[in-house]
Structure 1
Amino acid sequence: MKKDRRIDKSKSALKEALIFLMDEKEFKSITITEIVQSANLNRGTFYKHYQTQEELLNELIDDVLIDLIHSYREPYAKIKDFKVGKLSSSSIKIFDHVERYSRFYTIIINSNVLPGFQNRICQVLKELVQKDLLTPLPNPDIDPSLLSSYNAYALFGLIIEWVNGDFKFTPQEMADQLIHILFYQTSRAETDSIFKLENPF
């Protein structure tokens, strides 16, 4: 069945309007009238797609999380044997995702509009690491839940810093920084191992 572009356009306009309004006031005080006025649409169009503001918000959140998952998996989605050491910055798309939803991320990081949503994002990232990247475990002594949490919160920490810095880096520059950090950690670990062997006391 062919998608109706008018429907997509209307729904996108309503979601953009909701994001704009959440940047101005608390979600619970936003009315449907304000949403449709901001989107330059009418109430009839709103009710063709949603019954309540909450339904619109939930679909917006689903859009963000689906795009987050797709963007995170982009570097290894078509690779059978993925190795972090061979990761290239050009294949990293999660920062492009954040830029696409930059206003949304700015809102959830700098306000209490969606309490708990930051943890929800980290939980999604944690599950992705556990499901996609920790089989088999790199070290049997490492707890998989702790390792996946470390990776998820470290990545989200970079996103928070980027947002709080008013997106002064481009998505590609952020991808470059992530690569540098990953490779730095790897090389530092190897250096420390050599140092400990050569200087046991």
Structure 2
Amino acid sequence: MSTHKPKQDPRITRTHQLLQDALLDLIRERGFDKLTVQQIAERATLNRATFYLHYRDKHDLLQQGMDEVLQQLVNNIRSQTESERVDFRKDKPHPTFIRMFEHIQQHSKYYQVILAEQKIPHFMTRMTEVLSDFASEGISAVEAESEAYHLTVPKEMAVRYAASAFLGVIIWWLEQDMPYSPKYMAANLMKLVIKGPYLNSPFQ
């Protein structure tokens, strides 16, 4: 028996994309709360009946868009291979960090509207959860290397600190219209996480 997932009809894919694009444009112009299904359908050059063939309401449209984007983010973060284990003694950006920023750049309009501009609470919460899982796995991997790398604070505190820092840097990058490449962002975020912001510690 084949385990391949059936490929979605290109017409359905196009309809979904039209509606998601229309939603983003209108959220940017008017905010989500004031939008109607009629306005979304008209902007997508579709009719209301077509909209309701695919989504229950505007909240379902927003939710499915968030689910899809965040699942892609998770897939990019978790596609690490054994050869991509982090060597924290090197300054080279880790491929997982690069893929994270490449994904955000590829979907920059979505992240700029939903995360940086509107700061939709549900999306921010779920993205923080994704980044927390990422940070937790990274911290566990480092701790497994040597007892010298054990934490000086509760792991839950370190995870939340890292996830919040990641999210803050990502939002800043989007707000500045992504002036630096994904590779540059990955390298410097790793540097901040590992060494802090100073060339030499001013506290020693």
Q: TM-score, normalised by structure 1?
A: 0.78
Structure 1 residue 110: deviation in Å? 2.6
Between the aligned partners of 1:87 and 1:62, the Cα distance in structure 2 is: 33
Structure 1 residue 117: deviation in Å? 3.1
Between the aligned partners of 1:140 and 1:174, the Cα distance in structure 2 is: 25
Note the residue ranges of structure 2 that are not aligned, 5 or more in a row: 1-5, 144-148
Q: Does 1:83 align with 2:86?
A: yes
Q: Does 1:43 align with 2:52?
A: no
> Quick one: structure 1 residues 127 and 164, their matched pair in 2 at CA, closer, same or farther if it must change by over 3 Å?
same
Which residue identity is paired with 1:111? Answer: Q
> Quick one: structure 1 residues 72 and 87, their matched pair in 2 at CA, closer, same or farther if it must change by over 3 Å?
farther
Note the residue ranges of structure 1 that are not aligned, 5 or more in a row: 197-201
Q: Does 1:26 align with 2:37?
A: no
**What's the Cα RMSD here?**
2.8
Between the aligned partners of 1:68 and 1:111, the Cα distance in structure 2 is: 19
Q: Does 1:144 align with 2:155?
A: yes
Identity of aligned residues (%): 28
Between the aligned partners of 1:67 and 1:48, the Cα distance in structure 2 is: 24
Which residue identity is paired with 2:26? Answer: L
> Quick one: structure 1 residues 184 and 141, their matched pair in 2 at CA, closer, same or farther if it must change by over 3 Å?
closer
After the TM superposition, list the runs of 4 or more consecutive aligned residues in structure 1 that deviate by more than 4 angstroms.
none
Between the aligned partners of 1:12 and 1:88, the Cα distance in structure 2 is: 36
User: What is the aligned partner in structure 1 of residue 63 from structure 2?
Assistant: 58
Worse-matched range after superposition: 81-90 or 117-126: 81-90
Structure 1 residue 160: deviation in Å? 1.6
Q: TM-score, normalised by structure 2?
A: 0.77
Q: Choose from 71, 78, 85 the match for 2:76.
A: 71
Alignment of 1:94-109 (within 5 A): 94-107=100-113, 108-109=115-116
Residues 13 and 39 of structure 1 are in contact (CA less than 8 Å); yes or no, is this contact kept in structure 2?
Answer: yes
Structure 1 residue 89: deviation in Å? 3.1
Q: Choose from 92, 111, 118 the match for 1:111.
A: 118
Residues 132 and 159 of structure 2 are in contact (CA less than 8 Å); yes or no, is this contact kept in structure 1?
Answer: yes
Structure 1 residue 169: deviation in Å? 1.7
Residues 135 and 159 of structure 2 are in contact (CA less than 8 Å); yes or no, is this contact kept in structure 1?
Answer: yes
Structure 1 residue 33: deviation in Å? 1.5
Number of aligned residues: 188
1:129-166 deviations in whole A, cap 9, x for unaligned?
Answer: 22x22336331543111111122111112112211212
Q: Choose from 98, 121, 125 the match for 2:127.
A: 121
Between the aligned partners of 1:176 and 1:57, the Cα distance in structure 2 is: 32
Residues 18 and 44 of structure 2 are in contact (CA less than 8 Å); yes or no, is this contact kept in structure 1?
Answer: yes
User: What is the aligned partner in structure 2 of residue 154 from structure 1?
Assistant: 165
Between the aligned partners of 1:31 and 1:93, the Cα distance in structure 2 is: 35
Q: Does 1:133 align with 2:143?
A: no
Between the aligned partners of 1:159 and 1:8, the Cα distance in structure 2 is: 28
